[in-house]
Structure 1
Amino acid sequence: MAKEIERKFLVLGTSWRRLANAGVSIRQGYLIASDERSLRVRAYGDGRACLTLKIGHTAMARDEYEFDIDPAIAEEMLSQSIGTVITKVRYEVVQQEFTWEIDVYGGRHSGLVVAEVELESEADLPAIPAWIGREVTGDERYSNQALALSEGACQFADEPHDQTG
């Protein structure tokens, strides 16, 4: 069984950019969304696409199953997703043995920048880089599912995050 264990944080400033890879654009939509499970589809700017099923509802860990799919099928699924299709660019920064994924959101969530670090175990304690802000692990407002299903513009304008998006 695949297990996703991650912590999520807001990002401060832009200093992370000098450490990041070139990034990849992502369009993401939800086909099924509930408190306990979700089915999402992603189309990447580099031509890849995937379907991901997540099951469980804890702050840090869930079962996760991901399948590569044909990009044309992903486009069709995105057109049928519920809520709004999220747009973002994902960058990666490697710090020690951990990879931080920084998502710079576009569209109605423009300005929101969130970093996630995937862990092998809930006991892992990665060093927190200086550009990492407040932890939002378990704060459902910052879940991609909640962002896709929320009404209106980004609700986090008062949060400290990278405005250069």
Structure 2
Amino acid sequence: MAVEIERKFIADPAVLAHCRSGTQLIQGYLYTDDANTIRIRQAGECMLVTWKSPRRGCCREEIEFAISPADGRALLARVPASRRLEKTRYRVLHAGAGWDVDVFGGTLAGLILAEIELEREDQLVTLPSWVRREVTSDARYRNSRLAGSVMPERTAA
């Protein structure tokens, strides 16, 4: 089983100057409890089902697999709006590392989160100037909690 090692940060709108070509993502949360998160994600025509374990620090187990676009669209259509979110994901390079910058839409418009996936928990990360503060351990910033909810903190424009 794959292990995702990821840190998450609130990003300043200054990062948008580095965001060139993004991918529109729609995520629907099929099931969430203290031990499991199961979601369906649409990225263009690609449909992915993902299971994630609870986070331990910046680590969690993850299983992800593609399903047919028709099945994915049918499944996503059955997820209530209160369990969905929309965002545009950009890939931004900084100090030789790739960051995923998510610019949220809908009720979360104005929220910008930046994530970096690591090879090791103790890996040194050079933070860009557009990073505000780390929210890796703040449950309010989990996508499954953000779906259909109000924004925990608005990113200043």
TM-score by length of 2: 0.91
Which one of 36, 51, 54 corresponds to residue 52 of structure 2? 54
Structure 2 match to 1:154: 151
Q: Structure 1, residues 106-139: CA drift from partner, whole Å, max 9, x if none?
A: 0111111100000001001110000011111110
Alignment of 1:22-37 (within 5 A): 22-37=21-36
Structure 1 match to 2:63: 65
Mapped to 1, the partners of 2:40 and 2:92 lie a distance apart of 24
Mapped to 2, the partners of 1:43 and 1:91 lie a distance apart of 15
**Deviation, structure 1 residue 35:** 1.6
Mapped to 1, the partners of 2:86 and 2:56 lie a distance apart of 25
Mapped to 1, the partners of 2:93 and 2:67 lie a distance apart of 27
Q: What are the ranges of 5 or more consecutive residues in structure 2 without an aligned counterpart?
A: none
**Deviation, structure 1 residue 56:** 2.7
Q: State the number of aligned residues.
A: 156
Code of the residue aligned with 2:5 in structure 1: it is I
**Deviation, structure 1 residue 68:** 1.1
Code of the residue aligned with 1:77 in structure 2: it is L
8 Å CA contact 1:91–1:102 kept in 2: the answer is yes
- The 10-residue stretch of structure 1 (137-146 or 73-82) with the greater mean CA deviation from structure 2: 73-82
Code of the residue aligned with 2:77 in structure 1: it is S
Are residues 99 and 162 of structure 1, via their aligned partners in 2, closer, same or farther at CA, if it must alter by over 3 Å?
Answer: farther
Code of the residue aligned with 1:79 in structure 2: it is A
Structure 1 match to 2:144: 145
SS at match of 1:6: strand
SS at match of 2:136: coil
Structure 2 match to 1:85: 84
8 Å CA contact 1:102–1:116 kept in 2: the answer is yes
Q: What are the ranges of 5 or more consecutive residues in structure 1 without an aligned counterpart?
A: none
Mapped to 2, the partners of 1:156 and 1:77 lie a distance apart of 30
Q: Structure 1, residues 28-57: CA drift from partner, whole Å, max 9, x if none?
A: 01111012111100011x321111111133
Mapped to 2, the partners of 1:145 and 1:66 lie a distance apart of 16
Mapped to 2, the partners of 1:108 and 1:65 lie a distance apart of 29
8 Å CA contact 2:84–2:148 kept in 1: the answer is no
**Deviation, structure 1 residue 27:** 0.3
